[in-house]
Homo-oligomer: A and B are copies of this chain.
Amino acid sequence: METVKQIKILKITDNVPEEKLDTVVVEKPINIFVNLEFYAALMCSPSELEELAAGFLFSEGVISSAGDIKSIEEKYGDRVCVVLNHEFRKDSENLKARSTGCGNGSVHLNALENRNFNPAEDGNRFTAESIAGFMKEFNHMSGVFRETGGVHSCAICFEGGIEYFSEDIGRHNAMDKVIGKAILKGIDLKESVILTTGRISSDIVVKAAGAGVPIIVSHSAPTDLALEIAEAANITVLGFVRGNRMNVYCCSKRIIS
């Protein structure tokens, strides 16, 4: 499916209108089915839908690894059908907080309140220079964004640079897609860095914590609650990473000069 579309618009410059062709980003509702039952509908960019479903179900705690998935299949252009190796009953009574963010950022209030994560491992450390380098590579990769101004991007890096990259109209979807990719390949993320174009709200940190990612990097801002959770989960948060400038908000031990 196409993720962008050409449309006719009226461009006005200094009160002078002109008809022009312009590119806008495509938004689609996608239905996720688990063991043949409807689980959730996401508004998203129609690309990498299996990865999106895998990452989303991982974030939701429905699966804990690719081993839980018997089959995953995109069907009819509007759904992803996931069959698990175990029984599953959707608990509609789960108390969820709607997120501040894009797509599927539902957050179990309990997760926020109990902070019962496995803290991230201390693992690798990175120089400020290599973080700036990752971000430079990242900024060059988002073609759709440059074309339409309408999507968020997310990437997972290891020491050598960016390994996985995804984009979506929603910043949570972009993160689920990129984590979904790594999970479907059985990749361990405990030495990785995750990059996002979006703001770092609590649910973004909860997703990273769930995946064992120890470092989150954004060129935007974190919230106080995101930092509180990151601190508890031993996750390093860097924001406003622009050129050779960056803010390290917590767990700065992983960043070396």
Give the interface of A toward B (CB within 8 A).
5, 7, 9-17, 22, 24-29, 38, 40-44, 92-93, 95-104, 106-107, 109, 112, 127-129, 148-150, 168-170, 173, 199, 201-203, 220-227, 240, 244-249, 252, 255, 257
Contact = CB atoms under 8 A, between A and B. Distances in A.
Nearest to A252: B10
A202 B247 contact: no
B109 A27 contact: no
A150 B92 CA distance: 32
Given A41-B96, A41-B98, 14 more contacts: A9-B247, A24-B223, A24-B249, A25-B221, A26-B223, A26-B225, A29-B109, A40-B98, A43-B202, A92-B92, A98-B103, A148-B221, A150-B220, A169-B201
A130 to B, nearest CB: 11
A201 B15 contact: no
A28 B95 CA distance: 15
A16 B112 CA distance: 34
Contacts of A148: 221
A225 B28 contact: yes
B128 A41 contact: no
Contacts of A22: 247, 249
B240 A149 contact: yes
